[in-house]
Amino acid sequence: MKYTTTIGLEVHVQLKTRSKMFCASPVEFGAEPNTHTCPVCLGLPGALPVMNHEALRMTVLTGLMLGCDIAPICKFDRKNYFYPDMPKNYQISQYDMPLCTNGAVPLHDLAYPKDAQKNIVTPDKEVRLVRIHVEEDVAKSFHFENSTGIDFNRAGTPLMEIVTRPEINSPEEAFAFLTALKQILIYAAVSDADMEKGQLRCDCNISVRPESQTELGAKIEIKNLNSISGVRRALAYEIRRQIAALENAETLQQETRGWNDATGETFLMRTKEFAHDYRYFPDPDLVPVKTEILLAEVRQRVPELPKAKRARFVRQYQVSPYDAAVLANDLDLARYFETAAKGAKKPKNIANWILNDLQNALSIAGKTINDCPIPPEALDELVDLIDSGKISGKQGKEVFAEMFASGRTAIAIVKEKGIEQLSDLSAIEKLCDQVIAANAKPVADFKAGNVASLNFLKGQVIKLSKGKANPQLVGQILEKKLKA
């Protein structure tokens, strides 16, 4: 029997603000526990919230980049429930008037690795969004052997919650969605979206049903997902588990499951969960926000989308679509490439050096492009020396290795080693004349049809020049003279 999978995602994104959503306490990952708190984020009596408008700007910017409708007026509501990590016993969120609605994330534009792309059933698909709303984060619980501790540093940190429609149909599509979304968030500079630091958290709702059945199956929620690849593995496992249960005539119930990355399995957390009565009501301490002025301001700073950057790289720098995708997938790498390629005669060669030699060297050294010892202008200088024939490709690789190790410029290394190629035509012609005059037999062999003799003569010219003659020019001049 064939089965259909339906997946919806709820993505929580920690915004890259300096202070919390409703107070001036700083946001800092890894700080000593309970050192970045105040009466507001601890929920002490009489403390009043003050809106962080930068968090609203970041959310509007994200909404614009995802094609959302921005509400002319939005408001904040209290979501009431008790849990130890919620100091006020309510969370300030948005209920019926979110800041952004609709919008979509495209899956069709090489925003994800080839291994995901090739497995996507509908590569031209867009995953539509229901809404993006702003809320405050809760504190973080730490479970020890005999006790539980709570760090309130995270309480009150600004969050965006991005809710998709239930129209993702495979783990690969979920992987592609999160990869593309993360890239857009980084381009917008609204979040670093590092899942290991809790800056991007994802809950998955998944339902499996027989293909002939129109009604959705039981909705299973999966939590504790701490990586994008983990989302893909968890969904793949859960699909197999649900299909096996249906094949055995078992009845699936609505439940919440966790993900154990070590065992590669989901596990039961809670069963028979339905919509909670959170008793939402407007927060009386926060007035509704009119977004007209905010929206006009943010529209002026919308950056280039990843998809647009890839298309521009192909058009402006003549790189292949795949190379453009690899360059643009890392914003810092894209900036490095653009700086290096700006004045380059052959920007495609710059891209080749970055994607091959430079990336390999960085990987071996355990560095990122931001730690690169070769400035982009210095790489352009090296590539220009090769393209102009002043040094050979082989010499270029040797110079590159020394540049990476020492941070010195290509010109300085070439001068010190005295390895600049001889590209003066008249000088090379004189060397060719000497070799032709001294090697009558190879010359006669070439004229008799033995093409291999040309390589011997070419080697003699390069030897006579002490390795400095441009091999390409030597070959061209020799062939021209021997055929005359």
Tokens of 191: 């979040």
pLDDT of residue 116: 47
User: How far apart, in whole angstroms, are the C-alpha atoms of residue 471 and residue 458?
Assistant: 7
List of E strands, 231-280: 255-260, 265-271
- Backbone φ and ψ for 173, nearest 5 degrees, come out as -65, -40
State the DSSP string of 379-390: HHHHHHHHHTTS
Q: Which residues contact 427 (CB under 8 A, 6 or more apart)?
A: none
pLDDT at 124: 73
Q: pTM score, two decimals?
A: 0.84
Quote the tokens at residue 214.
């129109």
Backbone angles phi, psi at 21, to 5 degrees: -70, -40
Residue holding tokens 């990355």? 261
pLDDT in tens, the chain (484 residues): 899 999 999 999 999 999 999 999 999 999 999 999 999 999 999 999 999 999 999 999 999 999 999 999 999 999 999 999 999 999 999 999 999 999 999 986 554 445 544 555 456 789 999 999 999 999 999 999 999 999 999 999 999 999 999 999 999 999 999 999 999 999 999 999 999 899 999 999 999 999 988 899 999 999 978 899 999 999 999 999 999 999 999 989 999 999 999 999 999 998 865 657 889 999 999 999 999 999 999 999 999 999 999 999 999 999 999 999 999 999 999 999 999 999 899 999 999 999 999 999 999 999 999 999 999 999 999 999 999 888 888 889 999 999 999 999 999 999 888 777 667 788 888 889 998 899 988 888 888 888 888 889 889 988 888 777 878 788 888 888 888 6
Closest CA to 291 of 117, 94, 7: 94
- Which of these, 8, 365, 272, lies nearest to 166 by C-alpha position? 8
Q: Exposure of 82 by Cβ count < 10 A (0-12 exposed, 13-18 middle, 19+ buried)?
A: exposed
Say if residues 266 and 204 touch (Cβ distance below 8 Å): no
Q: Report whether 15 contacts 162 (CB < 8 A).
A: no
* CATH, domain range 425-483: 1.10.10.410
Given a contact cutoff of 8 angstroms between Cβ atoms, the answer to whether 61 and 188 are in contact is yes
Q: How many CB atoms lie within 10 A of CB 80?
A: 16
DSSP string for 427-457: HHHHHHHHHHHH-HHHHHHHHTT-TTHHHHH
Return the pLDDT at 109: 52
Report the alpha-carbon distance of residue 419 to residue 422 in Å, rounded: 9
Question: Could you give the CA distance from residue 289 to residue 72 in angstroms, rounded to a whole number?
Answer: 8
What does the alpha-carbon distance between residue 425 and residue 110 come to, in Å, rounded to a whole number?
46
Q: Where are the domains of the chain?
A: 3-296, 306-417, 425-483
CA atoms within 13 A on the CB side of 18: 1
Structure tokens at 85: 């990590």
Question: Which H/E stretch holds residue 101?
Answer: strand 100-101
Tokens coding 232: 């893909």
Distance from the first to the final alpha carbon of the chain: 76
Which amino acid does the sequence have at 414? Answer: V
Six-digit token string for 280: 């939402």
pLDDT at residue 117, as a whole number: 47
Asked whether the beta carbons of 443 and 432 are under 8 A apart, the reply is no
Helix, strand and coil content of the chain, in percent to the nearest 5, comes to 40, 20, 40
The SS3 call for residue 118 is coil
